[in-house]
Chain A
Amino acid sequence: MLGNITIGQYFPGDSLLHRMDPRTKILATLIYIVAIFFAQTVVSYLFVTAFTVWVIWMSKLPVRLLWNALKPLWIIIVFTLAIHVFTSTGTVLWQWSFIHITKEGLQMGVLMTARLVYLILFSSLLTYTTSPIRLTDGIERLLRPFQRLGVPSHELAMMMTIALRFIPTLLEETDRIMKAQESRGADFTTGSLVKRAKSMVPLLVPLFISAFRRADDLAVAMEARCYRGGEGRTRMKELCYTRLDTVSMSILILVVLIILVMRFYAV
């Protein structure tokens, strides 16, 4: 029941996207997400759509996976659409008592929803094609210039790595404890809200204890291997930019320029 959560899950593969340097991917995703907000006309939206579809195709990920990324957010998506469709003023297309749909609202709603969907798709592309380790490596390197300003880039990255590493473990643990308590007659799914909140105690107490135990074990293990922070730490897999990254970044910058030009001339 907990096994089908896919947020931020890496899907191994060997596409060009998988092979890109994580730094390039992170920067490109950030730039592109900002750029999407500059698209305004229908033509520029078509262009953004085409580019997004092309990148998805390049990633060679199963379409179902991306669909899964959108599914948990469908409420927000529907909500965005509804707000725009029902609350805009303009040429009325359809009316029933106080509810009305306008042409402008419909257009705006569709465009805003598309924006949101591309945003989600692109960020999930990043996490689907980059293993958590490479992702945090990339973040650490990108944050390094800010170290002088007091940003603990290594510690932040290490915390993220550990958190990501333990998400599946804790989910597994939750599943196991739930099953154990269910075999003792616990009921997590029925009853009033208060009763259900109370029924979480036999789940949460063991879960917290186990999390602390794991944290303790991990700390000891890290200490035993002489971990003492990022200072002077070398790595097994150095990140390095390749021609692929140069080309990808150039393409992206070109795409962003086109979007900006389209906005400027209102094409």
Chain B
Amino acid sequence: MPIVLDSVTYTYGQGTPFEKQALTGISLTINEGEFIGIIGHTGSGKSTLVQHLNGLLHPTEGQVTVNGINLADKTEEAKQSRHMVGMVFQYPEHQLFEETIAKDIAFGPTNLGLTQEEIEQRVKDAMDFVGLDYKTYADRSPFHLSGGQMRRVAIAGVVAMKPKYLVLDEPSAGLDPAGREEIFAEIMRLHKEQGVTVILVSHNMEDISKMATRLLVIDDGKVLLDGKPIDIFMKYRETLQKAGVDVPPVSQLTAYLNQRGLPVSEEAITVDDVVASIESLKKR
């Protein structure tokens, strides 16, 4: 059940003096089980692209289908398909509105028309999932939490809808390193344990290189590169730099070491990988 984009073009404010073409002829297939990282500099069209995946924006030209169903259709079927794609926006904590955390998380499941017990179960699961104790937090106001906790509540609100695909637009923006690690660990668990297909927008290469199985580099509304992260870092360093994104520091380091004559494995992604590679070189 893939998401298929067929030559999608999107223009903001069509027919006004402020027309702006944000996407140009993007064709793309997102298969179930993938972990896709989307990277590109500010204004390259990442947010515009991901908003097409659950029908928040409809292409000016071309079409988006989930499971063969066109998201722009007005049918009940298309609505169901849109609900299969969960969306976590940048600064998702800004969308909280309920008096209690549990009520806020229940907003999505309630809109799905589930039974009361099912809703309650999902709220518990979702809170458990993002590491907020149900007993302690369920009846607290979401507005008295720290920034990182608020964001976790917001993410729980989307997770509680049990989407098959989860889109996250820069979920770590404005968090401290510890908060970032936590959020990413949760996303990774969602992917591994529940088999959710993840589409992660970020401009931090390091995060993406650690998690994504496939990397899309967006530049000027087009897909510039599409492939395995490590292949892209190894082969397209210059293209990446021209598109205004940096290769992750570890890849920069391995490239530099190789250039200076130390043949460490260029497939190293974490610092530990590099250390291991150097150790094995020493043994030889």
Q: Which chain A residues have a beta carbon within 8 Å of chain B's beta carbons?
A: 3-4, 6, 11, 62, 64-65, 173, 176-177, 179-187, 201-202, 205-206, 209-210
Contact = CB atoms under 8 A, between A and B. Distances in A.
B89 A179 contact: yes
Nearest to B91: A176
B245 interface: no
Contact of B157 (A11, A184, A206, A210): A184
A184 B161 contact: yes
A206 B112 contact: no
Interface of B: 12-13, 16-18, 51, 54, 56, 83, 86-87, 89, 92, 94-97, 107-108, 110-112, 143, 157-158, 161
Given A177-B95, A180-B92, A184-B111, 15 more contacts: A3-B13, A3-B18, A62-B17, A179-B51, A181-B107, A183-B87, A183-B89, A184-B107, A184-B108, A184-B157, A185-B110, A185-B161, A186-B107, A205-B97, A206-B95
Contacts of A210: 94
A180 B96 CA distance: 10
A206 B89 contact: no
B97 A3 contact: no
Nearest to A175: B56
A183 B53 CA distance: 11
B13 A179 contact: no
A206 B157 CA distance: 15
Given A201-B97, A202-B97, A205-B97, A183 B86 contact: yes
A202 B13 CA distance: 26
Interchain residue pairs A-B with the least CB separation, the first 9:
A185-B111, A205-B97, A183-B87, A184-B108, A180-B95, A179-B56, A202-B97, A180-B89, A3-B13
Contacts of B12: 3
A11 B17 CA distance: 9
A183 B111 contact: no
B111 A176 contact: no
Contact of A65 (B17, B108, B112): B17
Nearest to B113: A185
A173 B90 CA distance: 12
Nearest to B18: A3
Given A177-B94, A205-B97, A184 B158 contact: yes
A4 B56 contact: no
A202 B56 contact: no
A11 B46 CA distance: 28
A209 B143 contact: yes
B107 A202 contact: yes
A176 B89 contact: yes
B97 A185 contact: no
A65 B107 CA distance: 41
B97 to A, nearest CB: 4
B111 A186 contact: yes
A40 B237 CA distance: 74
Nearest to B96: A206
B13 A4 contact: yes
Task: Give the interface centre of A181, A183, A201, A205 by most chain B CB atoms within 10 Å.
Answer: A183
14 contacts: A4-B13, A64-B17, A176-B94, A179-B89, A181-B107, A184-B158, A185-B83, A185-B107, A201-B97, A202-B95, A202-B107, A205-B97, A206-B95, A210-B94
